[in-house]
């Protein structure tokens, strides 16, 4: 291992080589990154990016992006200058539901326990990402609340608010939520996204393979009363399955309560039957269906334009306003990659820079082999240097996943959304 790396914690060129060194890391100080680095204030040295995937300006342009050259492929910036300040951490591959759009009917082969990151490892990586510039962390799964000791883990991540973390959120199916609400709030949880695709128990059973519709609805209402900064309900819309319930869902949660009702275009993932057993209901049709009975006023992409949802104020036709907003997440037909600020850490410790790209770098093995934070930061940068301007068209994604199969392509439950 070239000793030079020790003095230049952020030398991405060598970090690239590092990955091939099969992690023969000399045991050294665990962190050589000065505390409180704000990636947004870093002056970025120009770095060659040997193995970076060539990006055609045309694809980039379709996303309103300009290839800014290698200089930006550092810290949490990608080569298009997008700052990745939002990290989604999957804390488990287990779930107490079997949603058809999330995993293969036969379920997924769960990884051995020791393949999953421990609390200490999640905490260390989260702290590193925060020092690199992450300001928002979302905990996902599988279903995060089935992870034993989850309240303790949330408290550990919440403590990073003293070191630059600004927002802590969770995505959950809400089935276990009510008993965890007090601990989540104590730990600094700001917002929860709760999954519910239907208000009808028998349809819930068909989509999720389990009972729980009433408990989920009760938990959503409990969350709305609990004092979170934000409560959102996410429904994945599937043609001929729940597209006839869109207005009912909006009226159930967003009319009388300040809950955001969001509709998600069904996306292709390994083994989720996209375009075969189940069909996507595109954003334009979702809008059309809602506007049959409601009036929508567009408010643009959420999260200051870097979000995933197109937001709308909603009104009944007689003018009565909704307390909560409507959101439509249109990854497939109206993608929002141009302002993407998201990356992911999978439950088994892989850094994934795009939801819809199978590209990943394993952080778990080097971490367990004694890598320093500088080494890990180098691997994170290497990953971001590979980030494309946007995702491939759905048909290409589907073919890629099929060719890769369950060994090399991840189902949604193994990414965490």
Report the number of secondary-structure helices (H) and strands (E) in the chain: 13, 12
Q: What mask of x and - would describe binding to ligand SF4 in positions 345 to 374, judged by CB under 6 A?
A: ---------xxx------------------
User: Does residue 390 bind ligand SF4 (CB under 6 A)?
Assistant: yes
Please list the alpha-helical segments (H only) found in 281-413. 283-291, 364-368, 373-385, 394-408
Window of 30-38, 97-105, 115-123, 336-344 that interacts with ligand SF4 by CB under 6 A: 336-344
Angstrom distance (rounded) from CA 343 to CA 157: 17
Q: Do 210 and 232 form a contact (C-beta atoms < 8 A)?
A: no
Residue number, 180 or 232, with CB nearest to ligand SF4: 232
Window of 66-74, 192-200, 311-319, 329-337 that interacts with ligand SF4 by CB under 6 A: 329-337
Minimum CB separation from ligand SF4 for residue 402, in Å?
Answer: 19
- Comparing CA positions, the residue from 84, 153, 87, 144 lying closest to residue 121 is 153
Per DSSP, the residues of 69-99 read -GGG-STTB-TT--B--EEEEE--S--S---
Helix (H, G, I), strand (E, B) or coil at 32: coil
Residues 6+ apart with CB under 8 A from 293: 247, 316, 317
Residue number, 271 or 417, with CB nearest to ligand SF4: 417
Minimum CB separation from ligand SF4 for residue 72, in Å?
Answer: 15
Residue number, 88 or 100, with CB nearest to ligand SF4: 88
Number of residues counted as binding ligand SF4 (CB under 6 A): 11
User: Does residue 241 bind ligand SF4 (CB under 6 A)?
Assistant: no
Phi and psi at residue 212, in whole multiples of 5°?
135, 5
Minimum CB separation from ligand SF4 for residue 390, in Å?
Answer: 5
Angstrom distance (rounded) from CA 132 to CA 76: 7
Q: Which of 213, 254, 326, 337 binds ligand SF4 (CB under 6 A)?
A: 337
Minimum CB separation from ligand SF4 for residue 158, in Å?
Answer: 25
Q: Do 137 and 168 form a contact (C-beta atoms < 8 A)?
A: yes
Minimum CB separation from ligand SF4 for residue 356, in Å?
Answer: 4
Q: Do 297 and 267 form a contact (C-beta atoms < 8 A)?
A: no
* Residue 294 CA from chain centroid, whole number: 30
Q: What mask of x and - would describe binding to ligand SF4 in positions 265 to 304, judged by CB under 6 A?
A: ----------------------------------------
Minimum CB separation from ligand SF4 for residue 387, in Å?
Answer: 7
Residue number, 117 or 354, with CB nearest to ligand SF4: 354
How do 294-301 and 260-265 pair as beta strands?
unpaired
User: Does residue 336 bind ligand SF4 (CB under 6 A)?
Assistant: yes
Minimum CB separation from ligand SF4 for residue 10, in Å?
Answer: 24
Residue number, 24 or 393, with CB nearest to ligand SF4: 393
Q: Which of 136, 138, 391, 410 binds ligand SF4 (CB under 6 A)?
A: 391
Structure tokens that stand for 103 in this block: 């995993």
Query: Interface with ligand SF4 by CB under 6 A: which residues?
Result: 331, 335-337, 340, 342, 354-356, 390-391
């Amino acid at each position: 291992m070239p000793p030079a790396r020790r003095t230049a914690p952020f030398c991405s060129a060598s970090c690239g080589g590092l990955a091939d060194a099969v992690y023969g890391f000399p045991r050294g100080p665990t962190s050589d990154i000065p505390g409180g680095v704000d990636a947004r204030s870093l002056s970025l040295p120009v770095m060659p990016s040997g193995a970076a995937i060539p990006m055609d300006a045309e694809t980039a342009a379709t996303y309103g992006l300009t290839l800014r050259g290698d200089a930006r492929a550092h810290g949490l910036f990608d080569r298009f200058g997008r700052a990745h300040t939002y990290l989604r951490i999957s804390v488990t591959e287990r779930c107490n539901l079997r949603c058809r759009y999330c995993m293969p009917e036969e379920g997924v082969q769960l990884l051995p326990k020791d393949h999953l990151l421990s609390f200490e490892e999640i905490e260390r990586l989260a702290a590193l990402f925060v020092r690199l510039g992450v300001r928002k962390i979302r905990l996902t799964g599988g279903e995060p609340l089935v992870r034993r000791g989850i309240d303790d883990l949330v408290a550990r991540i919440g403590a990073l608010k003293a070191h630059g973390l600004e927002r802590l959120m969770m995505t959950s199916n809400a089935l276990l939520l009510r008993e965890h609400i007090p601990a989540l709030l104590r730990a600094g949880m700001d917002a929860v996204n709760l999954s519910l695709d239907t208000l009808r128990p028998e349809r819930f059973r068909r989509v999720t393979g389990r009972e729980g519709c009433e408990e989920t609805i009760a938990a959503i209402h409990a969350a709305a009363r609990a004092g979170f900064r934000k409560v959102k309900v996410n429904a994945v819309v599937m043609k001929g399955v729940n597209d006839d319930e869109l207005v009912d869902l909006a009226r159930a949660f967003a009319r009388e309560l300040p809950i955001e009702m969001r509709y998600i275009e069904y996306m292709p993932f390994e083994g989720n039957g996209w375009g075969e057993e189940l069909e996507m209901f595109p954003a334009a049709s979702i809008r059309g269906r809602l506007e049959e009975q409601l009036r929508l006023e567009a408010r643009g992409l959420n999260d200051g334009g870097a979000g995933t949802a197109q937001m709308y104020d909603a009104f009944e036709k007689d003018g009565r306003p909704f307390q909560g907003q409507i959101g439509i997440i249109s990854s497939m037909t109206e993608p929002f990659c141009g302002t993407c600020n998201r990356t992911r850490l999978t439950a088994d410790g892989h850094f994934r820079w795009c939801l819809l790209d199978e590209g990943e770098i394993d952080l778990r093995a080097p971490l367990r082999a004694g890598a320093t934070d500088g080494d890990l930061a180098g691997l994170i940068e290497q990953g971001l240097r590979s980030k494309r301007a946007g995702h491939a068209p759905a048909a290409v994604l589907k073919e890629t996943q099929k060719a890769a199969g369950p060994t090399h392509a991840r189902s949604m439950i193994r990414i965490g959304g």
